[in-house]
Amino acid sequence: MPSLKDLKNRIDSVKSTQKITKAMQMVAAAKLRRAQESAEAARPYAERMGKVLSSLAAVYDGQENAPVLLGGNGKDQVHLLVVATGERGLAGAFNSSIARLARDHVLKLQAQGKTVKILTVGRKGHDILRRQFANLIIDTVSYREVKNIGFAQASEVSEKVQALFAAGEFDVATLF
C-alpha cells in the first residue's frame, strides 16, 4: 500500500497535469476562435466567388470548349468527399463534428447506391473515419510539420483533387 507521502505526490502530480491540460484547452479554444473569425471574414469572398463561378458555368453551358471542372462529366455515380480536419486534438467538437457530417453523407450516398471515395486532409479526420470507412479512404494529406497552413497547402490539395478528376476517379466532389 502506498504511503501518505506517495499519495500526496500523486495528487499533486494529477493537479499539475490538470492545470497543463486546462491551459492547452484555452490555447486551442483561442486558436479555434481566430480560425472561425477568419472563416467568417472570408464568407463574403466565398459567396462572391460562387456567383462568379455560377455565371461562368452559365456562359459555358453546353459549349464544347467549356472547362471540364465547370461542366463536369455529366455523371453522378462516384462521389469524392474531401474531409478537412485538424492535425491535433483539443479543438472541442470541431473535428468530430466534421467527421460526423462526412459519415452521415457517406451513409446517405451509399443508401442511394452511389460509390463513395474519401480524401482526408488532417490526421484527426483520418483517425476517426478509418474506423468505419477504411476501405473508402483513397488518400490522406497531412500537414503535421506545417505551423500555419495557407494557400500553398490548399493549392496542393486542389491539385490532387483536379488530378483525380482528370483521371476519372470521381464524378462529384464535396468538401467538408
Q: What is the DSSP letter of 62?
A: T
What mean pLDDT is reported for the chain? 85
Confidence at residue 103, expressed as pLDDT on a 0 to 100 scale: 93
Q: How far apart (Å, rounded) are the C-alpha atoms in residues 165 and 65?
A: 17
CA-to-CA dists, residue 89 to 13, 62, 130, angstroms:
22, 46, 17
* Residue 82 and residue 61 share a domain: no
Confidence at residue 64, expressed as pLDDT on a 0 to 100 scale: 67
Confidence at residue 114, expressed as pLDDT on a 0 to 100 scale: 93
Q: With a cut of 70, say whether residue 63 has pLDDT above it.
A: no
- Across 162-169, average pLDDT: 88
Q: What are 118-128's pLDDT values in tens digits?
A: 999 988 888 88
Residue 34 domain boundaries: 1-66
* The pTM of the whole model exceeds 0.95: no
Q: With a cut of 80, say whether residue 60 has pLDDT above it.
A: no
Is 160 in contact with 84 (CB distance < 8 Å)? no
* Residue 46 and residue 82 share a domain: no
* Residue 138 and residue 107 share a domain: yes
* Residue 163 and residue 119 share a domain: yes
C-alpha cell at 20: 497543463
- Across 92-112, average pLDDT: 90
Confidence at residue 125, expressed as pLDDT on a 0 to 100 scale: 86
Phi-psi region of 115 (alpha: psi -120 to 50; beta: other; left: phi over 0): beta
* Residue 95 and residue 62 share a domain: no
- In a domain, residue 33? The reply is yes
* Residue 50 and residue 87 share a domain: no
* Residue 97 and residue 161 share a domain: yes
Residue 68 — pLDDT band, cuts 50, 70, 90? low
C-alpha cell at 117: 471515395
CATH code assigned at 108: 3.40.1380.10
Name residue, grid cell 463561378: 53
- In a domain, residue 115? The reply is yes
Q: ∠ CA 160-165-168 to the nearest 5 degrees?
A: 130
- In a domain, residue 72? The reply is no
* Residue 87 and residue 148 share a domain: yes
